[in-house]
Amino acid sequence: MLYIIGLGLGDERDITLKGLDAVKKCEKVYIEAYTSLLSFGLSTDGLSTLEKLYGKPIILADREMVEEKVDNILSEARGSDVAFLVVGDPFGATTHTDLVVRAKTMRVDVNVVHNASVMNAIGICGLQLYRYGETVSIPFFTEIWRPDSFYEKIERNRNLGLHTLCLLDIRVKEPTLESLCRGRKQYEPPRFMTINTAIDQLLEVEQKHGKSAYDEDTNCVGFARLGSEDQMIVAGTMRQLRTVNFGEPLHCLVIVGKTHPVEDEMLEFYKITTENPEQKGNGIP
């Protein structure tokens, strides 16, 4: 059996009892490493903390292993119980549908254990989940690559009065272009997009297209380390949020659509004020 287990968003204690039971009976435990340990505060002992709780070693599965060598993991799951751990929910922001398809193709049984993900945890700010449109990803711009396909989706959501969740780029173990040309991989330092950078890029794209999908006065909500004890939630205009120091990763941003009075009432708890320009929301206000 292959167990694909969501770990939640906060720390090692957010695993469900069902997930923990599954991990403890598995002969091998893998953890998706290109996003996994990030949600545990980028802690240097994040992996050992998990190993202490589970009482067994954990194997890091980086992007290359998951994308190119996953058949080895699936072959092991044919004859024994194997766990594949994912921060958040297995089918949340980082989907693992391909892993399930390949497992079923190889006749490997799959058991999915769900958990909280960014897709539902953003509800803490008060914006109702059923009033969201299509989620978009904001990639890091480079000097020669400035993709903006997300703009049309945001524009469509805004025209419908819907909120937009923007997932911000995470670059972990990305090979440099120079090393790829040489045929010997060397990796860039890890990078995590901030809300400030995302807003700068969003406004640049708006200036390019000029369709008034949003502007500096558009209301947004910024989230940092969502689900953790030191999470930070701040509501304000793009102009206001781009000046806020949200601290350590991970960050995400919601562009607010048309709001219901109840949503407005909740957002007030998180809004920037003159007295408190970096208001934090640690849990339900």
Q: Write out the DSSP string of the chain.
A: -EEEEE-BSSSGGGS-HHHHHHHHH-SEEEEETTTGGGGGTT-TTHHHHHHHHHTS--EEE-HHHHHHSHHHHHHHHHHS-EEEEESB-TTSSS--HHHHHHHHHTT--EEEE----HHHHGGGGS--GGGB---EEEPPP-SS----THHHHHHHHHHTT-BEEEEEPEE-SPBPHHHHHHTS--BPPPEE--HHHHHHHHHHHHHHH-S-S--TT-EEEEEESTTSTT-EEEEEEHHHHTT----SSPEEEEE--S--HHHHHHHGGGB--SS-TT----S--
Cite the annotated binding site for S-adenosyl-L-methionine by residue number: 9, 89, 92, 117-118, 168, 226, 251
Q: For position 94, what pLDDT does the model report? A: 73
Q: For position 244, what pLDDT does the model report? A: 97
Q: For position 274, what pLDDT does the model report? A: 55
**Residue 200 is part of which domain span?**
119-269
Q: For position 284, what pLDDT does the model report? A: 43
Do 77 and 169 lie in one domain? The reply is no
Q: For position 66, what pLDDT does the model report? A: 80
Query: How far apart are the C-alpha atoms of 135 and 15, rounded to whole Å?
Result: 25
Q: For position 183, what pLDDT does the model report? A: 67
CB < 8 Å & 24+ apart, contacts of 182-188: none
Do 147 and 169 lie in one domain? The reply is yes
Q: Is residue 277 part of a domain?
A: no
Q: For position 65, what pLDDT does the model report? A: 82
Q: Is residue 262 part of a domain?
A: yes
Question: Which ranges of the chain have pLDDT less than 50?
Answer: 41-42, 280, 282-285
Amino acid at 231: Q
Q: For position 139, what pLDDT does the model report? A: 96
Q: Is residue 178 part of a domain?
A: yes
Q: Which of 94, 116, 138 is the last residue of a domain?
A: 116
Cite the annotated binding site by residue number: 9, 89, 92, 117-118, 168, 226, 251
CATH code at position 213: 3.30.950.10
Q: Which of 100, 116, 132 is the last residue of a domain?
A: 116
CA 171 to chain CA mean position, Å: 12
Do 124 and 248 lie in one domain? The reply is yes
Q: For position 264, what pLDDT does the model report? A: 97
Q: For position 247, what pLDDT does the model report? A: 94
Q: For position 42, what pLDDT does the model report? A: 45
